[in-house]
A = this chain, B = another copy of it.
Amino acid sequence: MANGILLIECADQQGIVSSVTDFIYTNKGNIVELDQYLDHENGHFFMRIEWALDDFTIEKEKIGEYFNTLLAKRFDIRYNLYFNDEEPRMALFVTKLSHCLIDLLGRWYNGSLHVKIPVVISNHEYLRDIVEKFGLKFYHIPITKENKAEQEQKHLEILEENKIDFVVLARYMQIIGEGLIKSYESRIINIHHSFLPAFVGAKPYHAAYARGVKIIGATAHYVTEELDAGPIIEQEVSRVSHHNTINDLVQMGQDVEKITLAKAVKKHVLRKTLVVGNKTIIFN
């Protein structure tokens, strides 16, 4: 049977852990994973708790209501409740580069990503073939300076029609509009091809090459209105040398990008990420 997952956030105060774990135990839930984090600086408390529903005495549909009534109000908790048998619906945005796309499609294909992919959206036709090979819907929404606002409206409609839960920018080479960012706050994951905050913006490998760094990296982050400045979910690096050309960096970087993005997506899907201000808490 399924597991329930609660992501919890509140002011630090006595009795929260006890009360939440008691809520699970008393109702015959079997705790599978519990991880909490106390931000001393700001007096904030965060917790992720996952428990098996097999013998849980509160029926699935009522858990939210009960938790809200019995605990959330009492401790002034902000929370999200998920069930791990309900696969989130992910939309992919791509442009021309296929490495992140195929990596995610591969994970989806072999069942290790635990998502549905109702739609892939691109501003170009390049990747239609590979997307359709995998039996997925592909929308070509070309973007020009003139039609940008209008096409972003179309994005939003497609996402809504397809009941999309979160969006992954798998090397989508367009800046995302405010409307989409607001509608999907902390639910748009971008992969930036540098070790942020170094090399914000376009052509980071060219900049890395010019600076003569000995290590390159990639950063998966939630998208906010400021470019490449959103909360970081995951970062990975790779060693380079003076032998490597810009093209080498681009090639080597693709491996780092796709792994970093996939790790971030997986953490998001498993509900192991929590955004606090401009940072993330990543649970075990």
Contact = CB atoms under 8 A, between A and B. Distances in A.
Interface in A185-207: 195-199
A130 to B, nearest CB: 7
8 contacts: A40-B245, A99-B107, A102-B105, A196-B213, A211-B278, A212-B279, A214-B235, A237-B237
A262 interface: yes
Interface string A96-123: 0111001101110110100000000000
A242 B198 contact: no
Nearest to A274: B242
Interface of A: 14-15, 17-19, 21-22, 25, 31-34, 36-38, 40, 97-99, 102-103, 105-107, 109-110, 112, 130, 133-134, 195-199, 211-215, 217, 231-237, 239, 241-243, 245, 251, 254-255, 259, 262-263, 278-282, 284
Given A18-B22, A213-B232, A215-B195, A112 B251 contact: yes
A37 B242 contact: yes
Contacts of A36: 34
A211 B229 CA distance: 8
Contacts of A38: 31-34
B231 A213 contact: no
A218 to B, nearest CB: 11
Contacts of A213: 196-197, 232, 235
Contact of A278 (B22, B34, B212, B278): B212
Given A37-B243, A195-B198, A197-B198, A25 B21 contact: no
A130 B100 CA distance: 18
The 6 closest A-B pairs by CB, nearest first: A18-B18, A212-B279, A102-B106, A198-B198, A14-B25, A214-B235
A91 to B, nearest CB: 20
A135 B263 CA distance: 29
B280 A212 contact: yes
B243 A284 contact: yes
